[in-house]
A and B are shown apart, each in its own frame.
Chain A
Amino acid sequence: ETGVTQSPTHLIKTRGQQVTLRCSSQSGHNTVSWYQQALGQGPQFIFQYYREEENGRGNFPPRFSGLQFPNYSSELNVNALELDDSALYLCASSLDGGAWAGVLTFGAGSRLTVL
């Protein structure tokens, strides 16, 4: 299987709820990163997982958490949703857990709306 797939493509939640977004990495890629893209901005790094361990984190609070599984799938969990969490969430996989000379393969994103 090639490419990165994300689900769901769209979802609507209310403030205070919890959400789980899912990602299936490209086969063989051992690194997954999650990015948040708010309207009018570039993607912002949330965190990276390498071989099922968190390997780096951006400026996001602990209510953003993740998991990576041995079958190359991963999850982004957000607790206590806030209005500002409304954004497109992008998953990207790659074959290198180190510094970023490697190309990222992106999914098409999950668009979250928090009301």
Chain B
Amino acid sequence: ILNVEQSPQSLHVQEGDSTNFTCSFPSSNFYALHWYRWETAKSPEALFVMTLNGDEKKKGRISATLNTKEGYSYLYIKGSQPEDSATYLCAFSSGSARQLTFGSGTQLTVLP
């Protein structure tokens, strides 16, 4: 059974603070690691897909890193804004699987 863990479960930060969350996943038979951003009452939206150890991706103030050997990925948000408030999901796929295995998400609230 594949296990994807995310921490923390929830996080409150002040506007302007930088923050980061962790996603842990099985390090064997790795294929890809996805990050999704999910605002309340909307659809989950893809942020990044990473496949190579050492990958770093960036989109505006949000960036992510990947370590496939030790099985973790970090998502960073620089200078958080209230519109960054959402649940951030990571999802792992192995080479033989058709599906993504999701973590339970980190719920971020950015206070103005």
Contact = CB atoms under 8 A, between A and B. Distances in A.
A90 interface: yes
Interface residues on B, range: 20 to 34
Contacts of A105: 43, 46
B103 A100 contact: no
Contact of B95 (A48, A99, A106, A107): A99
Interface stretch (A36-44, A61-69, A71-79): A36-44
A42 B31 contact: no
B31 A99 contact: yes
Contacts of B103: 42
B8 to A, nearest CB: 14
Nearest to B96: A99
B71 interface: no
Interface string B69-96: 0000000000000000000010101011
Interface string B91-112: 1010111111111110000000
**Minimum-distance CB pairs A-B, first 6:** A56-B98, A42-B102, A45-B99, A100-B93, A103-B46, A106-B43
25 contacts: A4-B43, A33-B98, A35-B102, A42-B103, A43-B89, A48-B98, A48-B99, A55-B98, A56-B99, A58-B99, A90-B44, A99-B31, A100-B34, A100-B93, A101-B32, A101-B49, A101-B51, A103-B46, A104-B36, A104-B44, A105-B46, A106-B36, A107-B43, A108-B41, A108-B42
